[in-house]
Amino acid sequence: MTAPDKHPLDLEMHADRLREECGVFGIFGHPDAAAITALGLHALQHRGQEAAGIVSFDGQRFHSERRLGLVGDTFSRREVIDRLPGMSAIGHVRYSTTGETLLRNVQPLFAELDPFGFAIGHNGNLTNGLTLRRELVREGAIMQSTTDTEVMLHLVARSRKPRFIDRFIDGLKALEGAYSFVGLTNKKLVGARDPLGIRPLVLGTLDGCPILASETCALDIIGAKYVRDIENGEVIVFDDKGAHSQKPFPLVAQRPCIFEYIYFARPDSVVGGRPVYQVRKTLGAELGREAPADADVIVPVPDSGVPAALGFSQETGIPFDLGIIRNHYVGRTFIEPTQQIRQLGVRLKHNANRAVVAGKRIVLVDDSIVRGTTSTKIVQMMRDAGAKEVHFRIASPPITHPDYYGIDTPDRDNLLAATHSLEEMRQFIGADSLAFLSVDGIYRAMGYEKRDPVRPQFTDHCFTGDYPTSLTDQTAKSHAPRQLSLLAEAS
Amino acid sequence: MTAPDKHPLDLEMHADRLREECGVFGIFGHPDAAAITALGLHALQHRGQEAAGIVSFDGQRFHSERRLGLVGDTFSRREVIDRLPGMSAIGHVRYSTTGETLLRNVQPLFAELDPFGFAIGHNGNLTNGLTLRRELVREGAIMQSTTDTEVMLHLVARSRKPRFIDRFIDGLKALEGAYSFVGLTNKKLVGARDPLGIRPLVLGTLDGCPILASETCALDIIGAKYVRDIENGEVIVFDDKGAHSQKPFPLVAQRPCIFEYIYFARPDSVVGGRPVYQVRKTLGAELGREAPADADVIVPVPDSGVPAALGFSQETGIPFDLGIIRNHYVGRTFIEPTQQIRQLGVRLKHNANRAVVAGKRIVLVDDSIVRGTTSTKIVQMMRDAGAKEVHFRIASPPITHPDYYGIDTPDRDNLLAATHSLEEMRQFIGADSLAFLSVDGIYRAMGYEKRDPVRPQFTDHCFTGDYPTSLTDQTAKSHAPRQLSLLAEAS
Amino acid sequence: MTAPDKHPLDLEMHADRLREECGVFGIFGHPDAAAITALGLHALQHRGQEAAGIVSFDGQRFHSERRLGLVGDTFSRREVIDRLPGMSAIGHVRYSTTGETLLRNVQPLFAELDPFGFAIGHNGNLTNGLTLRRELVREGAIMQSTTDTEVMLHLVARSRKPRFIDRFIDGLKALEGAYSFVGLTNKKLVGARDPLGIRPLVLGTLDGCPILASETCALDIIGAKYVRDIENGEVIVFDDKGAHSQKPFPLVAQRPCIFEYIYFARPDSVVGGRPVYQVRKTLGAELGREAPADADVIVPVPDSGVPAALGFSQETGIPFDLGIIRNHYVGRTFIEPTQQIRQLGVRLKHNANRAVVAGKRIVLVDDSIVRGTTSTKIVQMMRDAGAKEVHFRIASPPITHPDYYGIDTPDRDNLLAATHSLEEMRQFIGADSLAFLSVDGIYRAMGYEKRDPVRPQFTDHCFTGDYPTSLTDQTAKSHAPRQLSLLAEAS
Amino acid sequence: MTAPDKHPLDLEMHADRLREECGVFGIFGHPDAAAITALGLHALQHRGQEAAGIVSFDGQRFHSERRLGLVGDTFSRREVIDRLPGMSAIGHVRYSTTGETLLRNVQPLFAELDPFGFAIGHNGNLTNGLTLRRELVREGAIMQSTTDTEVMLHLVARSRKPRFIDRFIDGLKALEGAYSFVGLTNKKLVGARDPLGIRPLVLGTLDGCPILASETCALDIIGAKYVRDIENGEVIVFDDKGAHSQKPFPLVAQRPCIFEYIYFARPDSVVGGRPVYQVRKTLGAELGREAPADADVIVPVPDSGVPAALGFSQETGIPFDLGIIRNHYVGRTFIEPTQQIRQLGVRLKHNANRAVVAGKRIVLVDDSIVRGTTSTKIVQMMRDAGAKEVHFRIASPPITHPDYYGIDTPDRDNLLAATHSLEEMRQFIGADSLAFLSVDGIYRAMGYEKRDPVRPQFTDHCFTGDYPTSLTDQTAKSHAPRQLSLLAEAS
């Protein structure tokens, strides 16, 4: 099975979004383990749309189904779920951050260790994954995927500790970067969050069975109860005897990724105790206070800008209205007519709602600007629809630095804010005015007075350049060019 | 190719929506005719998601591609468009109103007449289609589909008039009911709208080439200019010599279907000169005046209730907020875990936004109630999320009568409002209060003082029982049971 | 579903074979009607490999499955057979003689007539099919396929006779050319063979149920008993009351196609009372008498030449041996390496058996020569393998005239024997000697003294130019160019 | 992709054949490397029909395509070959001997070693594969397939030698059993044959480029020249500097598998200098001398018995004729009608040629008997067709012992000859007489006076129980049950 063709037009719009990373799910001891995992992954679909996989264990054998495409394309079918028997399962949705999107890269990955099997799914990115990989290969390890997750499999396989959990922790200790893992052995469901808790992981319960999931929305879809967030640096194991938690790393304060709030998490999820939708409305209100505009209507860029636009509207008293209509049947990019159609790319997904926009001074509200190409087109679409003035407001600060923890950001050169002043950005986008929320504005919206420059409360390097861990692979990069797998396979 | 499996859960939610009927598109004389038609159909996807087809003519040969599934599943691919060469094309998206969804029912249909070929796509439903079909079969006509559209093909084929347009009009004159046709011959693009103009059809232009489409949003996606609506009872022909319009029927006042405004048309379309989004906001505002509520927040049922909820909010001053979050990755129904999960069906598509709803008195706003099953679940979902009071407001009157003009309504027995009083409906749904917009409220929102009982301005039988044409097949039905095709084919 | 790609190399070898036409099968009153029909079609696969179809009737509804590809690709699967319920079924395998191989051309064709349904499958070709088609279209008939078979459907539909069988015979009377029909209505299985009996059709019985099939091998596979051949000009009907046979045409002597013996029928079939395998051996023996050769070994061109080569060997006493080995995994043509490989096309299917051939004087025996391109390559392959002398012997006369009765022969210009003398053919092929069986040699092998020039016992125009019926479409052709359907469809 | 369904009927006939094992092919330095490999694999298709794969190297990257199904299903298509660029390639066809037929088991397998990539394809079976696998897993190796071939990958990966070839030989030295390997690195094509040369491997040349292949027929298809057989215990490497051969094992006499001659190799191949077709004819002639029969006609069981039957016929003077006709369109098993059809399974592939058989005393000649179920049915089919006497002659000795070197034989309990006396076998099969070729008869046919009991010239344990290597896994089996992978995956 090959990846669906991508057309330049579509890539362009795609390229102007931060790519969400991955989502994980696991359940232990439930007779409908695979069906529930499929539903949980469906709720986490926004975290990864390129591939999905589930591994179940039936008491004797592991079963694995991994496919390119959406969860519903494969895992909604009875015959697929029937091929995943057993009371325990873990699942994964993936947008590729490292490794090409090939079937052999789709998680959960599995290894038959001695004397047990072990499956693992990973959300995040290891900043020393490439370095570890090279060491392992040099020692005779055979890598089948080009994911950094496989490194963890080999580390566990090579640990000489007798107990599984000690081998697992041996593996974790070699890692650097961001990770939320779910793992499944013949006897245990295991979860782990990196020492800073960069990527999210929550614990829930359904019919008395423990569930691990990237977000609470995956608990809601199955009617499971939220218990608590897995803590930064926590390793938790569920087996027939119950739950066992430990913190094998030196204790440090948590520093979750601020982008989960701004961008990635579903608005109906609660992350780190904060309802995401309310955070986004507050970001919009904060933005309304910092950078108001004299205008007739607040128009969200759908759907990402809606909560912030509502907050902005409520703060400023300017009415909120849908000046852009989104086509719900997206996902495919069409052949572009040879006789050029202006702005086709953007129109496949959006259309101006002329009745709202024509003759008005509008404030466009979005959650972020990455490359700026889509923003440019949307401003132009508003002008074509007769907007008198177009003010652009962004409910987060300028993105100036790339991410290495599981978010697919462009290189610095392609980040608009990394190479343009505010005024240059305004000109590029073609807006009458442009404003971003300040960094401290975010922290105020999160309930702090301001960013703590010594121990920042969040991972926020994309806005500040302050990376929370060392970046071993990046440092090495200048000396030895990245050279992951030599093998390209399409099947 | 068989239709995707439908699971009871999904059918249940499906069954509680009015099904949108069909959409048509045609273009004449453009070098990218098929690619443009594909884009136009994509913009009309909301009018029919079960199948799509395009027929093009390359000066010598007709080419046809018809498939089950979404437009983007097939017609986004270069190799498919390459199999549709030519400067003229028509296309169709379908949700089956009559006839099973088999490939041979997918439009446009084609016939090789003498001495020309003729392809046709149809939005609407003939109320004497079955009667005509029987007469034709009795005379030796061989039907290949179970669509009423094929009847029109045979009528044209059997007309003895020498000119195509006269044969086409011969066909139209035998028809009763609702239709917007687009047709393509070796030399002409033709459009026609029934004498009352029940279903919409608009004329646009791109690079000087004429375009026919069900809605203006199909013009917007390709940057085409809107020219005017095709009038009720108008037949229009485009060929190398230009456009020629005629009105072969006795002139009567138009009476377009009110449901296009309430429900079917995309909010960014302009139908009959009225922006649909604004109509819906006005319906919501009118509802706010007729049936206000003492509440803390206005919550739209996404996405159908959003414009009316905004209008209701602006009219009443109660803040608008997203108390229900929609999962954008829908379309598939999942295997239900054997250990029952409450309300799984509704949660696949929606989740309560507890932060907005908990402890609040909320007003749910939707566009209509059909069977009421979904409404019941959404009210319960709001209560589960902690809503203190749930007031339900519907921005249209109770639906008491089925449609026969291209909308797939349930039988009368299954229309909640046909068998329940208002108070019974409230109890069924479980809301603290329930109110519908009045019939005159619609007409006020459309700019009239009230409904003209003698010559109603719109086709509104679903609310009033006042059907605008005779219903030959329905009358015949009691005597001779419907017995369409005996042939079941899956390919 | 689109037709598999054909590569030039493959077409070349294909083009050098006569294409077999079609096969038909029908059974009445058996609980496993569809499964048995599938097996019967599998046994008739050699008569048509491009598509297959089955129509069944379950007492209330007709069911149809028609697919491109081999019988076993589709009809071996339980879910397909399960979609064909009922006690009666007819089936068809097709190699396209007229009409492109599109799904809508795959038979059996079906029409809902009044008041019954009618499905039909056809082996043969109508020599006035195009003429009839034009008349019907002029009168308003709508053709969905480009097959001549559909003409018969329309003729039956338009007949005003009250009884089905009279309408069926009305249709037959308009036809000219070769046909063996099987048909199925709500109540009857019907078979018919053209007045000369050009194409075969046999009657068998299984568990007391009547079966119609193109060849006896289709009876053998299911263990059915052969009863008799349907006679030339016979129409036979089976229904709940039993069998009824009639001969509605003026009686003439039968004149079956000689090519069924030489070429098309399976060697284990018995056609017109003669075992095909024995006929072919006798043709080879006759050839050995007419044109012996001084050689060391008789080598058949596999597999078509094997029986004749055995007969030749037994007649001449020269040992028979497999000097050419056939690859059983054929059916696909491979990408040709850009760096030319000599004779790749022929080697995909055949390889010289050097151990048999090297240093020997060999006699290659084949059943016929069409274009001669494959023969040329096989002679060269023998020489490359070290054959000292290569004598080519053909167990039928030179093909000088095209067929119009269901065999796909090239135009006259491309028939080697139509444009070359014997010596020119020998040079073209590169053989040391070349000989064909004489026309009278065939008749001797069939048990006659010689061909009766007044009333030839067989249809043999390909060798003699003596066409047994008028050729209406061919005569018309010069005036009005053939212009079948304008519609190209790939689905 | 899942394996096609197998129906009991089909399995029964399948189960009564020895399964051929695998075929390998490799080419170095040719611009059409992948296309040529595809053709070579097509010629080797008889050695494995369940899956096929090709790995190419383009100077920078390895490319891999592996699929279930026939070579022609996948590798005939331009787009697949285009995804395999480069001047070197190896390929593999597989019938699973160890490991389920899952996509991840399809070869060539690939590993990224340090600092090179390495792909490998294997024909044969390791008799200590399971034992080695367990040791490796215990040391932390992660196995992705359930093939014994992957063991070799890990052995090479773990060798600490600096040069590739030394690591490769390190790997070989750990192996026991039968193997012919082709391998590909960034710089080299490598071939190796086990110390006894049990499985075949030949060297050819095309346009000056070296080729390795299991059989000479793979050279013939591309017009390549045969150079020589790779010798037992030989390791040969091709790179830009030329060829380099070595023999790293203690020298022993070769002992190739006799079954390649009797059964597996294509008749047009030359194995170990002997034309396979001639060997089989000689086996038949030898059988005619050892066990003549008083009969009217010699009938081969198609196609396996044809050469031996010709030899038997020429030796005995009894005429050879095709008394059984094979349906060339095999490969699928059909739904069996519920109303039982006798002998359906055998009739899908064969039909009696009654004209040859009826009233005759026949000698059936086949190459071997495994379980005897098919032989029983064929004897019955001959009797049903009217044979007066049926004498069965087998051109090899009784199979009394299973194979462990790459041939899929049933357990001893299911080998007819292991549990029945000759007379019991005759009764089981229902023949009038039954005879096998003697063991010494084989050796005579191979040109020896008799089998050398001290140093047998061939691997012949299936007839003699004399296994040529130790059988480590078999010995271990009684203690520790086989427990290959715990992972079942269908993709």
Phi, psi of B70 (to 5 degrees): -75, 155
* Residue from D47, D341, D344, D357 to probe the interface with C (highest C Cβ count within 10 Å): D341
Residue among A22, A209, A217, A257 flagged as catalytic = A22
- How many beta-carbon contacts under 8 Å exist across A and B? 196
Cα–Cα distance, C255 to C345 (Å, whole number): 37
C32 inside domain: yes
**What's the pLDDT tens digit per position in C350-379?**
999 999 999 999 999 999 999 999 999 999
**Mean pLDDT confidence for D19-40:** 92
Residue D187 pLDDT grade (very low, low, confident, very high; cuts 50, 70, 90):
very high
Query: C436-472 b/e with 16+ CB inside 10 Å = b?
Result: bbbbebbbbbbeeeebeeeebbbbbbbbbeebbbebb
Q: Is residue C265 part of a domain?
A: no
What pLDDT sits at residue C210? Answer: 98
Least confident of A323-332, B68-77, B122-131, C334-343: C334-343
Both A134 and A210 in one domain: the answer is: yes
CA A83 vs. chain centroid, Å, equals 28
Which residues of chain A does D143 touch, with a Cβ-Cβ cutoff of 8 Å?
111-112
Predicted confidence band at C191 (pLDDT cuts at 50, 70, 90)? very high
Q: What is the pLDDT of residue B342?
A: 67
Query: pLDDT of D323-371, one tens digit each?
Result: 999 887 766 677 778 776 766 777 888 999 999 999 999 999 999 999 9
CB–CB contact A76 B333 (8 Å): yes
User: Average pLDDT in the B128-152 region?
Assistant: 91
Are B142 and C157 a contacting pair at CB < 8 A? Answer: yes
**Cβ within 8 Å, pair D485-A67:** no
Q: Is residue D365 part of a domain?
A: yes
Query: Which residue of chain D is at minimal alpha-carbon distance from C37?
Result: D337
Q: What is the mean pLDDT of residues D421-436?
A: 98
Over residues A432-461, mean pLDDT = 97
Does the structure show a pLDDT above 60 at D435? yes
Could you say which DSSP state residue C260 is in? I
Q: Which residue has the higher pLDDT, D288 or A339?
A: D288
pLDDT at D342: 67
Q: Who among C39, C314, C335 is closest to D35 (CB)?
A: C335
pLDDT digits (tens, 9 = 90+) for C141-166: 998 887 889 999 999 999 999 999 99
Same domain, residue pair C84 and C176: yes
Tell me, yes or no, if C217 is annotated catalytic. no
Measured in whole angstroms, the distance separating CA C403 from the mean position of its chain's CA atoms is 12
Chain B residues with CB under 8 Å of A306 CB are 322
Measured between beta carbons, which residues in chain D are less than 8 angstroms from residue A112?
A: 137, 142-143, 485-487
Quick one: CA dihedral B374, B379, B380, B381, positive or negative? positive
pLDDT in tens, B188-224: 999 999 999 999 999 999 999 999 999 999 999 999 9
Query: Are the C-beta atoms of C319 and D36 separated by less than 8 Å?
Result: no
Two tokens at C143?
Answer: 């053709």
Residue C418, domain member (yes or no):
yes
Task: Read off the pLDDT band of D233 (50, 70, 90).
Answer: very high
Which of A198, A221, A255 is the endpoint of a domain?
A255
pLDDT score at C277: 97
Q: Residue B344 region, left (φ>0) first, then alpha (ψ -120 to 50), else beta? A: alpha
At A158-195, the pLDDT tens digits run 999 999 999 999 999 999 999 999 999 999 999 999 99
Is residue D366 annotated as involved in ligand binding?
yes
Distance CA C402, CA B144 (A): 34
Nearest Cα to Cα of residue B46 among B152, B123, B146: B123
- Shortest Cα–Cα distance, D427 to chain A (Å): 44
- Residue A263 DSSP class: I
Which one of C329, C340, C350 makes the best mutation probe of the D interface by having the most chain D beta carbons within 10 Å?
C329
Is the Cβ–Cβ distance between A362 and A295 less than 8 Å? yes
Output b/e per residue, D128-140; b: 16+ Cβ within 10 A: bbbbbbbebbeeb
Backbone phi and psi for residue A448, each to the nearest 5 degrees, phi listed first: -100, 160
What's the distance, CA D82 to chain centroid? 29
pLDDT for position D18 = 62
What tokens does C303 get?
């597999």
pTM: 0.84
Cβ separation A334–B76 shorter than 8 A: yes
Positions at the binding site of B? 304, 366-367
Residue C456 covered by a domain: no
**Between the CA of residue A486 and those of A151, B116, D164, what are the distances in Å?**
17, 58, 17
Select the highest-mean-pLDDT range: A20-24, A352-356, B1-5, B483-487: A352-356
pLDDT above 90 (res C430): yes
Query: Residue B37: is its pLDDT beyond 90?
Result: yes
Residues C157 and C195 in one domain: yes
pLDDT at C93 (0 to 100) = 95
Three-state DSSP state, B446: coil
Q: Which domain holds residue D423?
A: 275-327+343-456
Query: Before B303, cis peptide (omega within 30)?
Result: yes
Contact C354/D226 with Cβ under 8 angstroms? no
What are the structure tokens assigned to C56, written together?
């069944």
> Do A and C have ≥3 inter-chain CB pairs under 8 A?
no
Chain B residues in contact with C489 (beta carbon < 8 A):
63-66
The percent of residues in chain A predicted with pLDDT above 90, rounded, is 76
Above 90 in pLDDT, residue C282? yes
Which DSSP string do the residues of D214-250 spell out, in sequence order? SSTHHHHTTTPEEEEEPPTT-EEEEETTEEEEE--SP
Please list, in sequence order, all residues whose beta carbon lies within 8 angstroms of the beta carbon of residue C427, skipping any fewer than 6 positions away: none
Confidence band of C412 (pLDDT split at 50, 70, 90)? confident
Residue of D nearest to A142 (CA): D111
> What pLDDT band is residue A294 in, cutting at 50, 70 and 90?
very high
User: Which of D296, D327, D338, D380 is most worth mutating to test chain C (most C CB atoms within 10 A of its CB)?
Assistant: D327
Q: Assess whether D355 and D395 both reside in one domain.
A: yes
- pLDDT at residue D2 tops 60: no
- Read off the pLDDT of residues B151-165 as tens digits, 9 standing for 90 and up: 999 999 999 999 999
Give the C-alpha separation, A307 to A288, whole Å: 13
Q: Are residues B249 and B372 in the same domain?
A: no
CATH number at residue A236: 3.60.20.10
Q: Are B60 and B88 in contact (CB under 8 A)?
A: no
* Chain C closest-CA separation from residue B238 CA (Å): 21
The mean pLDDT value for C315-328 works out to 94
- Note the pLDDT of residue C416: 95
Nearest beta carbon to residue B63 from set C64, C134, C488 = C488
DSSP-derived letter for residue B56 is E
| pLDDT of residue D315 exceeding 60 | yes
Q: What pLDDT was estimated at residue C2?
A: 28
Residue of C222, C327, C333 lying closest to D341 (CB–CB): C222
The 3-state DSSP class for residue A346 equals helix
- pLDDT (tens digit per residue) in B316-336: 999 999 999 988 776 667 777
Q: What is the mean pLDDT of chain A?
A: 89
State residue D409's pLDDT score: 82
B and C touching (3 or more beta-carbon pairs closer than 8 Å): yes
Answer yes or no: do A230 and A303 share one domain.
no
pLDDT of residue D487: 53
Q: State the average pLDDT over residues D73-89.
A: 94
Mean local confidence (pLDDT), B403-419:
89
Contact (CB<8Å) D35/C327: no
What DSSP line would sit under D140-162, residue for residue? T----SS-SHHHHHHHHHH---S
For residue D156, give how far its alpha carbon lies from the nearest alpha carbon of chain A (Å): 8
Of C220, C342, C354, the CB nearest to D223: C342
For an interface test with D, the pick among A56, A106, A112, A130 (most D C-beta atoms closer than 10 Å) comes out as: A112
Q: Residue positions of C in the annotated binding site for Mg(2+)?
A: 304, 366-367
Least confident of B197-211, D108-122, D238-252: D108-122
For chain A, what is the total number of helices (H) and then of strands (E)?
Answer: 19, 22
* Residues belonging to chain C with any Cβ–Cβ distance to chain B shorter than 8 Å: 60-67, 83, 103, 110-114, 117, 134, 137-138, 140-144, 153-154, 157-159, 186, 485-491
Q: Is residue B291 part of a domain?
A: yes
Contacts B221 to A, Cβ<8 Å:
344, 347-348, 351
Q: What pLDDT shows up at residue D259?
A: 94
Quick one: which of A121, A102, A128 has its CA closest to A485?
Answer: A102
Residue A294's domain is classified under what CATH number? 3.40.50.2020
Which of C73, C314, C348 lies nearest to residue D42, judging by beta carbons? C348
Report the pLDDT value the prediction gives residue C461, as an integer from 0 to 100: 96
Which residues in chain A touch residue B279, judged by CB atoms under 8 angstroms apart?
A: none
D15 occurs within a structural domain: no
A223 vs D144, residue with greater confidence: A223
The answer on pLDDT for A19 being more than 80 is no
Q: Rounded CA gap, B325 and A215, in Å?
A: 14
Instruction: Please indicate whether, in this complex, the C-beta atoms of B72 and A277 are within 8 angstroms of each other.
Output: no
Residues of B with catalytic roles: 22
What average pLDDT does range A273-279 have in this prediction? 97
Contacts of D275 in chain C (CB under 8 A): 353-355
Question: Higher pLDDT residue, A478 or D106?
Answer: D106
Collect all residues from D whose CB is shorter than 8 A from any CB in A.
60-67, 83, 103, 110-114, 117, 134, 137-138, 140-144, 153-154, 157-159, 186, 485-491
Same domain membership, residue D307 and residue D448: yes
Residue D55 · residue D108 · CB < 8 Å = yes
To the nearest whole Å, the CA of B156 is away from the closest chain A CA by 33
Say whether pLDDT at B491 is over 50: no
Helices (H), C30-77: 33-43, 71-75
Question: Are B251 and B284 members of one domain?
Answer: no
Q: What pLDDT score was predicted for residue C104? A: 75
Residue D414, amino acid: N
**Confidence grade of residue B17 (pLDDT, cut at 50, 70, 90):** low
Mutation to test the C interface, candidates D282, D351, D382, D384, most C Cβ within 10 Å: D351
Option in B72, B207, B332 nearest A72 (CB)? B332
pLDDT in tens, D394-418: 999 999 999 999 888 888 888 999 9
Are the Cβ atoms of C63 and B489 closer than 8 angstroms?
A: yes
User: Which pLDDT band, with edges at 50, 70 and 90, does A484 fall under?
Assistant: very low
Of C103, C112, C153, the CB nearest to B486: C112
Average pLDDT over residues C70-92: 94
Q: How many domains does chain D have?
A: 2
User: What is the spatial distance between Cα C408 and Cα C97, in angstroms, rounded to a whole number?
Assistant: 6
pLDDT (mean) for A199-219: 97
Determine whether the interchain pair A112/D486 forms a contact, defined as Cβ–Cβ distance below 8 Å: yes
Question: Do C167 and C294 fall into the same domain?
Answer: no
Residue C409's pLDDT is 82
Model confidence pLDDT, tens digit, residues A83-141 = 999 999 999 999 864 444 567 788 999 998 877 899 999 999 999 999 999 999 999 99
Judge if D307 and D194 occupy the same domain: no
How far is residue C219's CA from residue C111's CA, in Å, rounded to a whole number? 28
The verdict on residue A262 lying in a domain is no
Residues of chain C positioned with their CB less than 8 A from the CB of B157: 137, 140-142
pLDDT at A342: 67
Residue where the block lists tokens 């135009």 = C411
| Average per-residue pLDDT for chain D | 89
The answer to whether residues D368 and D228 belong to one domain is: no
> Which burial class, exposed, middle or buried, applies to C317 when counting CB atoms under 10 A from its CB (0-12, 13-18, 19+)?
exposed
Say whether both C178 and C145 belong to one domain.
Answer: yes
Question: Lowest-confidence range among A216-220, B19-23, B359-363, D71-75?
Answer: B19-23
What is the model's pLDDT at position D177? 95
Q: Point out which residues pair with C88 in neighbouring strands.
A: C28, C57
